[in-house]
Every structure is written in C-alpha cells, then in structure tokens.
C-alpha cells in the first residue's frame, strides 16, 4: 500500500556534504521524492515534531542539535514506504545499525545520527503535514515505478 514517510536530513548530513549520497540511496530503492525543503527549523517546530520525547533526558540536546543548522525536510512515497525507510536508515543507535544502512554507514553517535524517518504511516501523515502544506507535496507516478519496482 502506498504510504508517505517524512524524512529529515539533520544538520550533520548537510554540514558533512552527504545529502546527495543519501538521496541517491533512497531513489535507487525505487521510492518517490514528493516534497523537499531546506529549512532552519525553530525550537517550536522541533519540539512539536519530537513531542513524544519531551520528558526524555536527551530532549534538550536533541532540540539544540536539530535547530543548530539547516535540515532538509522531505516527503517520500511508495508501497510500504515507512517500513522500507526505517530499514534503510537503520537502528537509532548507529553502533547497532547494520552496515549498509544510512546510520550504519555514516555516523557513530545516537545524538548525531544524521537522519530522521517516521516510524508509522500515521506518524508519517502527521509529520508531513507539520512541515509541508498540502500543495507542497506532489505525488507522482511513472512507468518505472508502476511497472518495474
């Protein structure tokens, strides 16, 4: 079933100049990029996005990190997009993320794990609408995705 997943390349991905490499991996999987926006996010937006972690010990550190420099907010679509994306990004702690995953290949510390992806289709919808207006998300299909993926 087609799903939407909100993906955010955190400040480390932009500053380390690996945005293109990460997007290439997601495109090659066969997922569709349907929105993208470079943003310097406010603490208010970051806190809304990560509301479920408000009481955690790392919350302040997390908000400081994701607001410290630009992020690339994106919407990706495809069949089973959320679970595929979570597999491709790997475990939250890069030390446990398998080689071949984005976190497994590009980072070391949990607090600097360079990429966010929604953890359920429901959260995917919630997060996409937090960062994008409906008209900014452009769902598209082509012969490649419909016939060959």
Q: How far is CA 40 from CA 1, 7, 43, 88, 124, in A?
A: 32, 15, 10, 25, 20
CB 57 to Mg ion: min, Å: 16
Q: What angle in degrees, to the nearest 10, is found between the helix axes of 81-89 and 121-131?
A: 80
Say which entry of ligand IDP, Mg ion, none residue 110 contacts (CB below 5 to 8 A, set by partner kind).
Answer: ligand IDP
Strand ranges of the sheet holding 71-79, from the earlier edge strand across to the other edge: 32-39, 71-79, 2-9, 115-117
In the residue annotation, 116 being an active-site residue is answered as yes
CB 41 to ligand IDP: min, Å: 14
Q: What residues between 94 and 123 interact with Mg ion by CB under 5 A?
A: 119
Interface positions with Mg ion (CB under 5 A): 119
Residues annotated as part of the active site: 116
Interface positions with ligand IDP (CB under 6 A): 53, 58, 61-62, 92, 110-111, 113, 116, 119
């Amino acid at each position: 079933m087609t799903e939407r997943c909100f993906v955010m390349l955190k400040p480390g991905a932009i500053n380390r100049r690996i945005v293109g490499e990460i997007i290439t991996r997601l495109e090659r999987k066969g997922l569709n990029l349907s929105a993208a926006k470079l943003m310097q996010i406010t603490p208010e937006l970051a806190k809304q996005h990560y509301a479920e972690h408000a009481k955690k010990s790392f919350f302040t550190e997390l908000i400081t990190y994701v607001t410290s420099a630009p992020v690339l907010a994106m919407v990706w679509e495809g069949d089973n997009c959320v679970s595929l994306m979570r597999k491709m990004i790997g475990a939250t702690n890069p030390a446990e993320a398998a080689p071949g995953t984005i976190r497994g290949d590009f980072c070391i510390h949990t607090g600097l794990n360079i990429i966010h992806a929604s953890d359920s289709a429901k959260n995917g919808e919630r997060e996409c609408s937090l960062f994008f207006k409906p008209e900014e998300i452009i769902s598209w299909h082509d012969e490649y995705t419909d016939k060959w993926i």
